[in-house]
């Protein structure tokens, strides 16, 4: 896989995450008591034997760079693109010197970072996202991509038809050829969706990106690049994602993913990358005042009632408080006697009165 460049898209504002994204960029929002959202793609890259990941970021990059240098660079090398001098020069100097053009979408990120992507020895690019929760080994997908001599290989998953309109819909034939691709269709005709993990052949990818320059396009991989390649008859193959995969694009999906985790749906705790301090001390429990919840060991016999909730290490819950169907992030504080239900309590947030239905 020496000719494969892995890139991690981490450039969105995260507006749809509501309060969760108010103080930190979406990729480093904690998940599952063990890690952050972006850690899943990095963990997958590491276990797939990739030699390096190129970070393509845009907003509040200092936060991302600091986290990755402190936590991940010793596990799998991270290339910071135009900011890569951070590995050897003072941060203030690097941030002061780097100047970049505006980016309007995911395709622009590929254009801006071309010097780090379309260069020897890399001939193919694996595009990953920093807000997807899943475990996956990319090696088999890459072998399939090469064997099929594909210009592009995309991941797909079968989901209930009612949710397809939230994603890119794909139609796949019996030979795993892509036959149709529609971004967020109002009336879906297929129950298969694009997982946003894709493999491009570099020479073909950049030929299309060059062709869009000076035209009225949306600067987006899903809305521009894939449909154009399909219309032009390129060989586009589809690779199934049979196991759990979740796009955490909104605060509602974030909450739902944690509630599903309590039902045994999702990446098991013991298989998540362990990054957050104290995460290993959070356990699933069904005893005493704590029911069907993931909580720090210290809260298992505490004076609060916790039902069907996920409580991160570092959160505190006062005596007589009632926590139901909620997620409490590190450093959050719930006052005695307060009721929290169907809510997300952000890191270091203090709740002193009842908190009901607060996801965003």
Tens-digit pLDDT profile for residues 79-112? 999 999 999 999 999 989 988 877 888 999 999 9
Is residue 352 over pLDDT 90?
yes
For the stretch 182-207, pLDDT in tens is: 999 999 999 999 999 999 999 999 99
Query: Lowest-pLDDT range, 172-181, 214-223, 275-284?
Result: 275-284
Q: How does residue 124 score in pLDDT terms, banded at 50, 70 and 90?
A: very high
Distances (CA, A) of 280 to 35, 89, 283, 284, 317: 10, 35, 8, 11, 19
- Rounded to an integer, what distance in angstroms lies between the CA atom of residue 210 and that of residue 232? 15
- Tell me the pTM: 0.95
Mean pLDDT value of segment 298-313: 92
User: What percentage of the chain exceeds 70 in pLDDT?
Assistant: 99
Mean pLDDT value of segment 245-256: 95
Q: What is the DSSP letter of 278?
A: T
Token digits of residue 199: 């493999």
Nearest alpha-carbon partner for 64 in 130, 119, 151 = 130
Distances (CA, A) of 12 to 30, 240, 245: 17, 26, 20
Is residue 1 over pLDDT 90?
no
Is residue 14 over pLDDT 80?
no
Q: Domains along the chain?
A: 4-247 (3.90.550.10), 277-356 (2.160.10.10)
Is residue 240 over pLDDT 80?
yes
Q: How does residue 284 score in pLDDT terms, banded at 50, 70 and 90?
A: confident
What is the reported pLDDT for 13? 64
What is the reported pLDDT for 12? 66
Is residue 232 over pLDDT 70?
yes
- Rounded to an integer, what distance in angstroms lies between the CA atom of residue 42 and that of residue 40? 5
Give the distance, in angstroms, between the CA of residue 152 and the centroid of all CA atoms in the same chain.
Answer: 21
User: What percentage of the chain exceeds 90 in pLDDT?
Assistant: 84
Q: 10 Å Cβ neighbour count for 325?
A: 18
Q: How does residue 7 score in pLDDT terms, banded at 50, 70 and 90?
A: very high
Under a CB-based contact definition with an 8 Å cutoff, are residues 3 and 122 in contact?
yes
Backbone φ and ψ of 199, nearest 5°: -120, 120
Nearest alpha-carbon partner for 136 in 261, 43, 15 = 43
Is residue 157 over pLDDT 90?
yes
For the stretch 29-73, pLDDT in tens is: 999 999 999 999 999 999 999 999 999 998 788 999 999 999 998
For the stretch 109-122, pLDDT in tens is: 999 999 999 999 99
Q: How does residue 283 score in pLDDT terms, banded at 50, 70 and 90?
A: confident
Mean pLDDT value of segment 315-331: 97
Place of tokens 């460049």: 5
Mean pLDDT value of segment 165-194: 96
Mean pLDDT value of segment 175-187: 96
Backbone φ and ψ of 84, nearest 5°: -65, -20
Largest pairwise CA distance in the chain: 65
- Rounded to an integer, what distance in angstroms lies between the CA atom of residue 23 and that of residue 145? 39
Mean pLDDT score of the chain: 94
């Amino acid at each position: 896989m020496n000719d494969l460049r892995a890139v991690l898209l981490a450039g969105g504002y995260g507006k749809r995450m509501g309060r969760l994204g108010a103080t930190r960029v979406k990729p480093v929002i904690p998940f599952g008591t063990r890690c952050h959202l972006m850690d899943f793609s990095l963990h997958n890259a590491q276990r797939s034997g990739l030699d390096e990941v190129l970070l393509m970021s845009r907003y509040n990059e200092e936060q991302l760079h600091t986290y990755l240098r402190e936590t991940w660079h010793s596990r799998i090398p991270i290339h910071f693109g135009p900011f890569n001098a951070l590995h050897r020069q003072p941060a203030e100097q690097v941030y002061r010197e780097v100047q970049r053009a505006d980016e309007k979408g995911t395709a622009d990120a590929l254009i801006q970072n071309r010097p780090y992507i379309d260069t020897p020895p890399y001939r193919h690019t694996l595009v990953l996202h920093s807000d997807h929760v899943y475990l996956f080994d990319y090696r088999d997908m890459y072998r399939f991509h090469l064997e099929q001599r594909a210009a592009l290989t995309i991941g797909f998953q079968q989901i209930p038809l009612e949710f397809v309109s939230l994603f890119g819909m794909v139609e796949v034939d019996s030979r795993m050829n892509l036959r149709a691709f529609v971004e967020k269709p109002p009336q879906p005709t297929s129950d298969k969706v694009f997982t946003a993990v894709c493999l491009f052949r570099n020479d073909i990818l950049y030929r299309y990106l060059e062709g869009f320059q000076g035209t009225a396009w949306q600067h987006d991989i899903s809305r521009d690049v894939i449909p154009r390649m399909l219309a032009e008859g390129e060989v586009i193959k589809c690779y199934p994602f049979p196991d759990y995969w979740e796009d955490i694009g909104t605060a509602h999906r974030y909450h739902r993913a944690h509630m599903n985790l309590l039902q045994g749906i999702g990446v098991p705790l013991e298989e998540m990358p362990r990054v957050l301090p104290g995460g290993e001390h959070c356990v699933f429990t069904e005893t005493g005042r704590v029911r069907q919840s993931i909580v720090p060991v210290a809260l298992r016999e505490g004076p609060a009632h916790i039902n069907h909730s996920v409580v991160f290490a570092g959160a505190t819950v006062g005596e007589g408080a009632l926590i139901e169907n909620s997620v409490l992030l590190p450093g959050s504080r719930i006052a005695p006697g307060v009721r929290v239900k169907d809510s997300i309590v952000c890191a270091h947030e203090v709740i002193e009165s009842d908190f009901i239905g607060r996801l965003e």
